[in-house]
Amino acid sequence: MQRYFIPSDNWQDHHVTIKGQDAHHLMRVLRSDVGDQVICNDSEGRAAICEINAFANKEVHLKIIEWLEEENELPIHVTIAQGLPKGDKIDFVLQKGTELGAQAFIPFSSQRSVVKWDDKKGKKKHERFSKIVKEASEQSHRNRIPKVHLPMNLTKLIEMGQSFDIKIYAYEEEAKVEKFHSFSTIVRKLKKGQSLLILIGPEGGFAEEEVAMLNKNGFTSVRLGPRILRTETAALYALASISYQFEELGCS
């Protein structure tokens, strides 16, 4: 069933109003009729089956039929901080990361970032990113849309990281040494409801001074398996493993 995220203002008692692009999608793309049903998610993460009552003035009016008891959110609040990668790889990280359950994304620039965004470009990109995560949330049946932060630098990111329960960074060199920090030792320490910040460097990885700064500020380096992953694959490995541990193995 088609799913939409509806802002709080558009919920009234037993009714929901769908406006703007979602209304256009429902009317013009899906060519829905009165009586058709969709799932509407509210901003609290709840979802309801709703039935179309009427179309009026580019809006769709729906009646709430049944609140659903579903919970498709990852039990760990994972924020992916992604070093700005080349090309449109960040789109890919946002889309796949949303499907795999990330709660938030922070694009960041660091010493070895090839890509540089000024404030204007950052803001423009940000609008597109919000669209990507909204659509991926609808498609993957998420209960919440992940938050995408405006791009920031590593210093700011480290400062922000202090509010997380656990903070780690993927370090390519970690996969090459015999005595390594396994990702699983971190994952198994996590308790449901805790927050985890995962930093993934850009293509060239982190510089030595950056690694020193991360270590000094309570970030732990981890390897994500023995193979060398591309920057845009690392976040997906981490999220899939956390889902496997908490949602499939069922340990907590």
**142, 158, 196, 210: which one contacts a second copy (CB under 8 A)?**
142
- Nearest distance from C-beta of residue 171 to a second copy, angstroms: 15
Pick the piece of the chain touching a second copy (CB under 8 A) from 10-18, 156-164, 189-197, 236-244. 236-244
Q: Which of 140, 194, 217, 220 binds a second copy (CB under 8 A)?
A: 140
Among 12, 184, 215, 252, binds a second copy (CB under 8 A): 184
Q: Is 48 exposed, middle or buried (0-12, 13-18, 19+ CB in 10 A)?
A: buried
How many other CB atoms are there within 10 angstroms of residue 169's CB atom?
24
Within 75-114, the residues that bind a second copy by CB under 8 A are 96, 99-101
Strands 147-148 and 11-12, by their bridges, are: unpaired
Identify whether the C-beta of residue 156 lies closer than 8 Å to the C-beta of residue 211. no
Q: Does 250 bind a second copy (CB under 8 A)?
A: yes
Give how far the C-alpha of residue 27 lies from the chain's centroid of Cα atoms, to the nearest Å: 28
| Residue range at the interface with a second copy (CB under 8 A); choices 29-37, 110-118, 189-197, 239-247 | 239-247
Position 243 contacts a second copy (CB under 8 A): yes
Bridge partners of 235?
none
- The burial of 129, by beta-carbon neighbours within 10 Å (0-12 exposed, 13-18 middle, 19 or more buried), is given as buried
Residues paired with 55 in a beta bridge: 60
| Interface ranges with a second copy (CB under 8 A) | 71-72, 96, 99-101, 139-142, 182-184, 187, 224-230, 233, 236-237, 240-241, 243-245, 247-250
